[in-house]
Structure 1
Amino acid sequence: MQVSPYLFFHGDCRAAFGFYEKLLGAKIEAILPHAGSPAAEHVPDDWQDKIMHASIKIGDTLLMASDCPPEQMEKTQGFKVSLQIDEPSEAERVFAGLSEGGKIEMPLQETFWALRFGMVIDRFGTPWMINCRKPE
């Protein structure tokens, strides 16, 4: 069994996944717009290039997403995407990237369990936790 988070975006899924691919060294495995699919006839013309499904591989985890029509979009709450990063300098780089244009909820810092831990909502509305554990 595998758990794969599924995110919904405000029409900027393609931009978000492009950003995550570069920042996280991830690999986009699929990015499917409505245009050219059986779903195309069920969405307005201005929604044809929006993403009906996308998947990106981050490490060993598959993160999936799509754009959500404005009338169906709900506020993202009750979860965060957690990244476990081995090196403090890499945690700092990723946190800084996710913070650009976003909102820092907890600055990246040392805690009793981590060399670095912080929480941020990126500019696309995705909530993240960055954790760099202390060696055992």
Structure 2
Amino acid sequence: MATVGWRELVHLPELGLHNVPAKIDTGARTSSLHGVVLDKFERDGAEYVRFAVDFERQHVRQVCEAVHVDRRGITSSNGETQFRYVIKTPLTIGKREFRAEISLADRSDMKFPMLIGRSALRRRFVVDSGHSWLQTPGLEVEKGYKP
């Protein structure tokens, strides 16, 4: 089983998102991505959601589309339940790629645009909370790196 640190760079290849700084959070069940829902639509009989992911540090806005899997109540760390769109898309951490459920949330006030929850980690990774960037070779030695 691979080991991840408390923060990692991850990839969402079908969404065209690469090197996304993510916080590893075993206290959260569902992974979440900073995304502002722009539109919900149907294509070939399947429901889709179009959303924007803003990377404020780089002044970049990436518009993505994904199959809309669900809309469900998700309890945030402050105890509030929010109804969020949930998508299912390939997620790559290190050399492992797998499909993960990811809720779209406003994470603009958070340090990391993505949070990886325990459902995505289960039976794939163990977490070493004393280290960072274990699945991102070379990055762990960069001093002062901030996502």
Give the TM-score of the pair, scaled to structure 1. 0.27
Q: Which has the higher strand share?
A: 2
Flag the structure with larger Rg. 1
- More relative contact order in 1 or in 2 (CA 8 Å, sep 6+)? 2
Q: Which has the higher helix share?
A: 1
